[in-house]
Structure 1
Amino acid sequence: MTAEGREHSDPHPADQTTQTDAKVAAVPAGQAALWRTLTDSGDLAEEGQSWAELMHAQFDEAGDIHAAAVFAFVYDAPSRQLKPIGGSPINRVAAAAAVDACMSAVDQLRPVARGEMPGQSRASGMIVAAAPLIVKDIPVGVVVVEMQPDSQAAMRRAMRKLQWGSAWLRDRLRAEESTREETRYAAAVEALNTVIAVAERGDFSTATSAAVTDLATRFDCDRVALGLRRWRRTKVKAISHSAQFSKRMELVARLSATMDEATDQRAAVLWPDDGVEDTFATQAASVLAREHGAGHVFTVPLYAIDRFIGALTFERPADKPFDLKQLEILEAVGTVLAPILDEKRRNDRWLITKALESLAVQLKRLLGPAHLIRKLFMAGVIGLVVFFWFAQSTFEVSAEARVIGTVERSIVPGFDGFIADAPVRAGDVVAKGDLLVRLDDRDLELERLRLVTQRQRQQIEYDRAVATRDRAEINIRQTMIDQANAEIALIDEQIERTRLEAPFDGLIVSGDLSQTIGSSVTRGQPLLTLAPVDAYRVTLQVDERTIADVAPGQTGALRVTALPNETFPIRIEKITPVATYAEGATTFEVEAVFLGEAAALRPGMQGAARIEIDERRLVAIWTKPLVDWFKITLWRWSPI
């Protein structure tokens, strides 16, 4: 059975918890050294190499497996990378197929075999078999063998040997993981203790002094110093067991240079660097150690949010070097401590300092690289400010407006009487001479009839006196006749005045007597109000905050509620000095006249008017209410 590229898993996987402590009864002399290295070395790379060579030897002893190479890898899950820790033959590099099989094994969490499966005779193709090393359900490594087995049974035995042999490596990696967890736990404890020491102090200076003294005591250091970055230089802020120190001290300068050295390299720097994989510049640290008697110097940069804010420098005597676990703990302490110290430093500043630093940060982001959206936003804001500063428009004052007639005539009776007829009411258009109101004249007609009868009787007496030539009687009767004629003329005048007619063409603005026919009226009582239909004016209620900008002769426009699509030009004629308080605002009445035809308007219509004042900047127009309010408030509270 052959299948090119097919994945194969052992149907009978060995128990991965099987221990490999049992040794072969007779160990060849060449393998004894490998077994000692495997069990006693303590170095994972050496142990991995010994394991690969021993497994390769066991495959060779089988006779029918024909292993070409054996490899062991440590798997880094976050980066998905394989790091070799052993291979046999020593100088051989794992084939691409072997690496692919390893990745499939860690992805599937089970053994994987790839290649041309052997048939009845030995296959010419290469087969790779990989088994993952799983600790707590997480792949931590993988082992792989490149082989040409004689049969499928030989291939299955090879897979079982690989799984059984990988148990030792799995346990070794489990121990490594436990050690790392212990280190992380210790680092968390130490970091928490340092954070507590910082949090218990109020101000930044006291907190930093407490932090470095606590670190020096806790990690058995001769001296621990803390520095903060400012203007690309690190300034020493605290030294353990020293409440005060001079910034001009030679020690402070050396500490500052050592901190700059680590911060510029953006990495923790150890001097001397024996056994450290990565090599960094340590000139400043060596000078500090030589001049001030330190045997070992370790500097940890402090990183908070998005930048390096300073560094911690630890010094120990020559007989107390830092081990790897302590270095990891100190780096973890610096990582935890950095944002806390930065926050306390920020909170301990003066308010003006906070404002200036915030402004500097924003300017740096605005003028520096990246932050494209911020730059576009600020460019837009600046563009708008420039536009509104130079752009000008007409400053206008808005006011509530009401249309009234140029002349309004009240229709009043000339004497007391009763309403007999009222053919018109408010809203009717009338012509000159049209009847508006007619008073009841029946009493006046009866009075006139009485006076006419009395005049006729006096006329008869007058004629008789003329016939008798009684001169005295003639004069008396003539006087009585003249009196009657005068009274009749008065009655006729009153009868004529019972008809109240329109004095001119106009519109009835107010009054409705149709529901009061027969009711009494008194002399001088307003019955109707009449206004011309072709002569109007406008009264504006201008707010007191803008009345100072209004002057006679200014022009504007009016729109009434009844005709929202039409605009009527107006001109200011008069500003009354009388203020009116209504609806929470004080207004002044301003009178205006129409500059054109206003045939569609009617007295009583209301709307809004806009008076054109002058040309001003847009920003001045929009901020005028705020500026005026600020001026008044400032003057009100100003002591001068």
Structure 2
Amino acid sequence: MDGPAEPQSPPPSGLDASERALWAQLSAAEGLAATAQAWAPMACARIRGAQAAAVMLDPGDGRPLRVAAAHPATRLPSGEALAAAESALAQARGVIRGAAGPDAADQPVAMAVPILVDGRALGAGVLEMSPQGPEGMRRAMRSLQWACAWLRDAARADAAAAERTRYEQVGHALHVVVAAAEREGFESAARAAATDLAARFACDRVAIGVRRGRATRVRAISHAAQFGRRMDLVRLIAAAMDEAIDQRAVTLHPEATAEAPLATRAAEALARAHGAGHVLTVPLYAVDRYVGAVTFERPADRPFSQAEAETLEASVTVLAPVLEEKRANDRWLIQRAGDVTLAHLGRLLGPGRLARKLTVLALLAVVAFFWVAKAPYRVSADAVVEGEVQRAVVAPFEGFLAEAPVRAGDRVAEGDLLAKLDDRDLALERLRLVTERQRRVREYEQALARRDRAEARIKSTQIDQAEAQIELIDARIARSELRAPFDGVVVSGDLSQSIGGAVARGESLLDVAPLDSWRVVMQVDERRIADIAPGQGGSLLVAALPEQPFEIEVVAVTPVARYAEGATTFEVEARVLGDASRLAPGMAGAGRIAVDERRLIAIWMRPLIDWARLTAWRWSPWTF
């Protein structure tokens, strides 16, 4: 058999009348199905020794191969032919299989060639022929491969046509969605979508309805800004929509599928009453339910093709969520809340959904338990350990740091050197003043020797002044040494990295706290400060000692708010009860203050209840 030719190409020479008819049928065939019907008899006629030919297609999903065409029509492919086709599909190359056994020489040989389109095997051309020699089998395989090119080209044409159809469907769907999405409100969007569908698909009328309860209400008709709800036409359209929605399927009058016939009485009544030759109704499905339907009407001379019906169904499928969202947005908030509540109640109280019912019962049991059960109510807050008495060591004057033998955490005794400022400038100044005093003394003695009393009094005054300045310098030199005021521990400050650095007068250099008394400072949230009172007990857990809680007692509540890190807190001071020898100043952790005993639901719902009360009071016109 010669290779594929362009459609309507002239037949090869040497064909008889019947082969010419087959050639004309094959050349004029469009699509894989029609090509296969003409291909099988042509293959039997043109390949020497052929007894039967068939085209087998792979339906996918692991199902067996389907015979698309066979010649002779009354002869089904043998087991060997089926096995050869499956092998050709699996190996993606031509396969020859022959019968085995003593009678193999009299049995036909099966050969198959896959139909490959873009590397994917869609089926196979199969030939059963009488056994021949090696050269005859090779010649037959080449002819079969050339013949299968017809099937390959037809499959490619089908794929291209399907792709064009998909592009057209997507394009139509996008145009309809854009027409609806550009409008404000459901009524305007539905009317725009209906008008666009009517114009795009040459329909006499397109109507869009919304399902409410068990009935559908027509909300938009193409090219009609207003229409009467009680019109006979509107009632018939609504009945056709109910008919499609109740059957959960697309209905088409007068045609109906042979496999699963659908009721189309309402569509027939609509067509008979208003002269519509063809009525197509597509349900609107969104949010896991049928929310309405779209009805298309055409005259008798323009029926809906299968491709048009699929395109309309695709367009409506994409349009449904857009219209449902606009319809939902048009309703009052209380209506939306009511619909959601009723929907959930319907799912809960309806049949099935055992898991959801058990979950709700479990939640109710948990809420009942927490409503009855009680537990200690505690207020938690961040806490820091501080010395009960804390002394700041500050710079007595401006200068430079000379020594810093201690740092935070070091224990010191009363009088120990904590830091020393550089006193070299002071020593030089003292030396200058001592020299000045000696000079004034000599001048004073000289004035006495001259019996110059006035000059002597002046020099005496200058000597006193110099001695006062020397005493001041000595005091500053003594103050340059900063010593511990009592036995304790350095709680803050590390000057070891600042030797030689400048310090300002009054600058805090170190903080010293005693070793025998501590206080706990907690930052309690403003929403809980009303529950705190002096004398309440609690516990403290610091990060450094997570295995050892410390008992505490509230001593004072500072009535001054502090805002930090986006929260307003009040400072609560507590003292540590019992042994606190392992504590150290600066330890941070959490404190819990025991208030009283309350219901668990009240404890957990406290933030929400407080917020609701404050919000209600803020926005309510009444005082309560």
- CA 1:559–1:402 in 2, change beyond 3 Å: closer, same or farther? farther
Contact 1:44 1:85 survives alignment (8 Å): no
Q: Which runs of 5+ in 2 are unaligned?
A: 390-411, 415-484, 489-513
Identify which of 114, 133, 143 aligns with 1:161. 143
Shift of 1:276: 6.5
- Equivalents in 1 of 2:187, 2:196: separation in Å? 14
- CA 1:625–1:131 in 2, change beyond 3 Å: closer, same or farther? closer
Q: Which runs of 5+ in 1 are unaligned?
A: 1-12, 406-423, 427-509, 514-530
1:22 corresponds to:
11
1:3 corresponds to:
none
2:598 corresponds to:
616
Q: Does 1:209 align with 2:195?
A: no
2:54 corresponds to:
71
- Equivalents in 1 of 2:539, 2:118: separation in Å? 84
Identify which of 233, 237, 245 aligns with 1:263. 245
Contact 2:4 2:150 survives alignment (8 Å): no
1:286 corresponds to:
268
Aligned-partner SS, 1:123: helix
1:228 corresponds to:
210
1:142 corresponds to:
124
Write the mapping of 1:301-450 to structure 2, written as runs, cut at 5 A. Answer: 301-304=283-286, 306-359=288-341, 384-397=366-379
Larger Rg: 1
Shift of 1:395: 1.9
1:84 corresponds to:
67
Aligned-partner SS, 1:248: coil
- CA 1:555–1:234 in 2, change beyond 3 Å: closer, same or farther? same
- CA 1:569–1:156 in 2, change beyond 3 Å: closer, same or farther? closer
- Equivalents in 2 of 1:184, 1:562: separation in Å? 68
- CA 1:102–1:348 in 2, change beyond 3 Å: closer, same or farther? farther
Shift of 1:393: 0.8
- Equivalents in 2 of 1:398, 1:275: separation in Å? 71
Residue 56 of structure 1 aligns to which amino acid in structure 2?
C
- Equivalents in 2 of 1:110, 1:617: separation in Å? 78
Percent identical pairs in the alignment equals 44
TM value normalised by structure 2:
0.63
Q: Deviations over 1:616-639 (max 9, x none)?
A: 112322443554465456545654
2:77 corresponds to:
94
Identify which of 12, 31, 36 aligns with 1:48. 36
Aligned-partner SS, 2:211: strand
Q: Deviations over 1:71-125 (max 9, x none)?
A: 1234446777644332122233333443343244344443222235899x97245
2:280 corresponds to:
298
- CA 1:569–1:207 in 2, change beyond 3 Å: closer, same or farther? closer
- CA 1:277–1:131 in 2, change beyond 3 Å: closer, same or farther? farther
Contact 1:404 1:604 survives alignment (8 Å): no
Shift of 1:212: 1.4
- Equivalents in 2 of 1:604, 1:186: separation in Å? 78
- Equivalents in 1 of 2:327, 2:233: separation in Å? 24
Residue 619 of structure 1 aligns to which amino acid in structure 2?
I
Contact 1:233 1:260 survives alignment (8 Å): yes
Q: Deviations over 1:269-314 (max 9, x none)?
A: 2211178775322222112212222111122233446444332211
Shift of 1:214: 2.4
Shift of 1:50: 4.1
1:445 corresponds to:
none
TM value normalised by structure 1:
0.62
Shift of 1:36: 5.9
- Equivalents in 2 of 1:601, 1:177: separation in Å? 86
- How many residues get paired? 496
- CA 1:267–1:588 in 2, change beyond 3 Å: closer, same or farther? closer
- CA 1:342–1:147 in 2, change beyond 3 Å: closer, same or farther? farther
Aligned-partner SS, 2:244: helix
Shift of 1:165: 3.1
Contact 2:31 2:157 survives alignment (8 Å): no
- Equivalents in 1 of 2:619, 2:549: separation in Å? 44
Write the mapping of 1:411-560 to structure 2, written as runs, cut at 5 A. Answer: 511=486, 549=531
Q: Which moves more between the two structures, 89-98 or 73-82?
A: 73-82
- CA 1:196–1:396 in 2, change beyond 3 Å: closer, same or farther? closer
Q: Which moves more between the two structures, 179-188 or 575-584?
A: 575-584
- CA 1:134–1:306 in 2, change beyond 3 Å: closer, same or farther? farther
- Equivalents in 2 of 1:163, 1:560: separation in Å? 85
- CA 1:37–1:282 in 2, change beyond 3 Å: closer, same or farther? farther
- Equivalents in 2 of 1:215, 1:603: separation in Å? 80
Contact 1:229 1:308 survives alignment (8 Å): yes
Q: Deviations over 1:391-430 (max 9, x none)?
A: 321123568799989xxxxxxxxxxxxxxxxxx988xxxx
Residue 36 of structure 2 aligns to which amino acid in structure 1?
G
- CA 1:637–1:162 in 2, change beyond 3 Å: closer, same or farther? closer
